[in-house]
Amino acid sequence: MFVPGCQRGAALLLALLVCAAQAADESIVAASHPLAAEAGARILRAGGNAVDAAAAVQFALNVVEPQSSGLGGGAFMLIYLAKTGQTIALDAREEAPRRATADQFAGHDFQDNSTNGIAVGVPGTLAGFAQMQQRWGKKSLAQVMEPAIELAREGFAITPYLAHALQSPRAALQPETRALFRHPDGTPLAQGEWLRQPALARTFSLLARQGPAGFYRGAMARAIVAAQHRTRLGPAGRGRMTLADLAHYQPRFLTPLEGHYRHYDILTMPPPSSGGVALLQALGMLERFPLAQQPSWTLGEPTATHVTIEALRLALADRERWLGDPEESAIPVQQLLDPAYLRTRSQLIAPTQRIRQIVPGETQPEGGQTTHFSIVDAQGNVVSCTTTVESLWGSGIMVPGYGFMLNNELTDFNRLPHAGPDDPGANDVHPGMRPRSSMTPVLVFSGGQWRMAYGSPGGVTIISTVLEMTEDLLDGALPAAQAIARPRFAVLDAAGKTLLEPRWPQAGQQALQALGHSLWPSPDPLGSIQIVGVDEPSGRRWGAADARREGTVIRVWVGP
């Protein structure tokens, strides 16, 4: 395990995994890479708002974190508009091609499927950000792309997190990635070496002139379709995307899910995200427990951690059976979040006994190399965005001549069809359908006022990380920096397999194991929270970022 540093590059102990800043009436950017955070800050200094800054952060992340997100992927975002009090959910999730079939992944395992064109969904990032910015931004698409163009053209020093990711074989599966990310002798580029991406710089320059049409139609669209025909599995591995699939892609603007916990209102992402439903379900099940009097954040007493694990198991059981894309199948969101249903589910949770009767669903791998950023601007507009290419380096396929990675998002569908008499098959592959996601951007309100925005990467572990953060902030009343620095656990499935970060006290582990919990050491840090907020008494804005990756907070004040 490696521990990258914060903005100033100093290595931090796991006990201090936070960079933080406080500000009054200023804009705050919290992102997983210092250069991406600076891209957003630059746009804010130039008079842009939170929406403009979000676009700048995303495009810069494509340059400095190509393993995690970019033009070839998708995103979920919550946008709070201070002037109207409106919150919008943006679904820029990737989409299955019209030629997709429910059994297209049946013949191979996750690893094989995920590194071939068959896994590539129609990318949504550019369409989503462009439409979002056109509706609510103040700058042009060309202006918000300027920082990314400069970073790609001029280059930057490889950071510890990227250097670690470059060691993955997925970074060198194709000739284009080997040429860009490897030395002639085949060794990966290392920390501190300079990385320039001229093809990606040209791509952003072209899109700055042509807009999304330059991506979804024409020469670049043809290159995307050709790239996803690449296969190491023979004909079964060829992608099924066509030019028509690209041309017809549209992001969705949705109503956020809203839940209530203690005296807070929590807004989060609706399906095809499963994370929002699972988060609100777990909080609904846990509300009857006095978690503030049973402080899980001390890690010495297992009670609060135990009931949280149990609530997550129940939520993940419902996730596996019922959640998918509501555009393609009936998703019973209202029933799953009905208070009476959650009270019934909560009664299954006992403080000193593990639930035995949960029927586990199929556990399948899910890519965790996502990224999250949160922004508040001087006017109080807020963005909470989680964005991804799915696995580390996505499918491992770079579009020749254009310099961006294609996602492997379609492996988030069920590998084998589930539809049958006892299962609706809500996440089976269907043409035009968007795969179930765990991404869980969050906005917290109290008394009708916005208080916090946060989220995390991590695949299915996102749900646990965001739930723990919510408990620590709202039940524990911990400062964000302290909540971020705590060691984490993550429940992977309804059976209850739970990963633990290294600093968990042995006594706490033994107490959980005595209740029958299945605990495993996590091979990697869990999640990477980026958060902005405002103090209730003082109105001071603040931000905190997680140095499990390279979290950075930048505050921006634009004077007269």
Residue % of the chain over a pLDDT of 70: 92
Residue 314's Cβ-side half-sphere holds a number of Cα atoms within 13 Å equal to 29
Report how far residue 529's alpha carbon sits from residue 113's, in angstroms, rounded to the nearest whole number.
29
Average pLDDT, the chain: 92
Q: Are strands 498-500 and 519-521 parallel, antiparallel or unpaired?
A: parallel
DSSP-derived 3-state class of residue 224? helix
Phi, psi of 74 (to 5 degrees): -150, 175
Report how far residue 136's alpha carbon sits from residue 52's, in angstroms, rounded to the nearest whole number.
8
Q: Does the annotation count 552 as an active-site position?
A: no
Instruction: State yes or no: pLDDT of 360 exceeds 70.
Output: no
Residue % of the chain over a pLDDT of 90: 84
Average pLDDT rounded to a whole number, residues 545-551: 95
- Which CATH number is 254-365+439-556's, of 3.40.50.2000, 3.60.20.40, 3.40.109.10, 3.60.150.10? 3.60.20.40
* pLDDT in the model for residue 21: 63
* pLDDT in the model for residue 107: 86
Strand partners, 201: none
Instruction: State yes or no: pLDDT of 364 exceeds 70.
Output: no
Closest CA to 267 of 396, 450, 424, 390: 450
Phi, psi of 489 (to 5 degrees): -125, 165
* pLDDT in the model for residue 14: 34
Place 453 in a pLDDT band, splitting at 50, 70 and 90.
Answer: very high
127: left (phi over 0), alpha (psi -120 to 50) or beta: alpha
Average pLDDT rounded to a whole number, residues 226-252: 97
Report how far residue 468's alpha carbon sits from residue 462's, in angstroms, rounded to the nearest whole number.
10
* pLDDT in the model for residue 298: 53
Instruction: State yes or no: pLDDT of 293 exceeds 90.
Output: no
Neighbours of 315 (CB within 10 A): 30
Average pLDDT rounded to a whole number, residues 446-467: 97
Instruction: Determine the residue type at 140.
Output: S
* pLDDT in the model for residue 507: 86
> What's the alpha-carbon Rg for the chain, to the nearest Å?
22
One-character DSSP codes across 48-111 = --HHHHHHHHHHHHHHH-TTT-STTSEEEEEEEETTTTEEEEEEE--B--TT--TTTTTTS-HH
Strand partners, 385: 77, 373
Instruction: State yes or no: pLDDT of 450 exceeds 60.
Output: yes
b/e burial code for range 255-283 (CB count within 10 A of at least 16 → b):
ebbbbebeebbbbbbbbbbbbbbbbbbbb
Give the full edge-to-edge strand order of the sheet including 27-31: 252-254, 86-92, 74-81, 382-388, 370-376, 27-31, 552-556
Residues 6+ apart with CB under 8 A from 499: 461, 489, 490, 492, 519, 520, 521, 522, 526
The residue with greater pLDDT, 359 or 84, is 84
Instruction: State yes or no: pLDDT of 363 exceeds 90.
Output: no
Q: Please tell me the least confidently modeled range out of 61-75, 298-312, 521-535, 537-551.
A: 298-312
* pLDDT in the model for residue 294: 62
Place 15 in a pLDDT band, splitting at 50, 70 and 90.
Answer: very low
Token readout for 228 is: 């996803």
Taking 3-state DSSP, the helix, strand and coil percentages for the chain, each rounded to the nearest 5, stand at 35, 20, 45
Each residue's pLDDT tens digit, 28-54: 999 999 999 999 999 999 999 999 999
Each residue's pLDDT tens digit, 426-435: 999 999 999 9
Using the 8-state DSSP alphabet, how is residue 400 labeled?
T
Check 159, 268, 370, 440 and give the catalytic one: 370
Instruction: State yes or no: pLDDT of 342 exceeds 70.
Output: yes
Each residue's pLDDT tens digit, 369-424: 799 999 999 999 999 999 999 999 999 999 999 999 999 999 999 999 988 888 89
The residue with greater pLDDT, 94 or 367, is 94
Strands of 179-300, DSSP E: 194-195, 252-254, 257-261, 264-268
* pLDDT in the model for residue 13: 31
Report how far residue 512's alpha carbon sits from residue 503's, in angstroms, rounded to the nearest whole number.
15
Instruction: Determine the residue type at 149.
Output: I
pTM of the model: 0.94
Instruction: State yes or no: pLDDT of 331 exceeds 90.
Output: yes
Residues 6+ apart with CB under 8 A from 394: 72, 73, 367, 405, 406, 407, 408, 409
Domain with CATH 3.60.20.40 in the chain: 254-365+439-556
Instruction: State yes or no: pLDDT of 12 exceeds 60.
Output: no
Strand partners, 268: 257, 442
* pLDDT in the model for residue 328: 82
* pLDDT in the model for residue 420: 87
The residue with greater pLDDT, 304 or 51, is 51
One-character DSSP codes across 203-217 = HHHHHHHHTTHHHHS
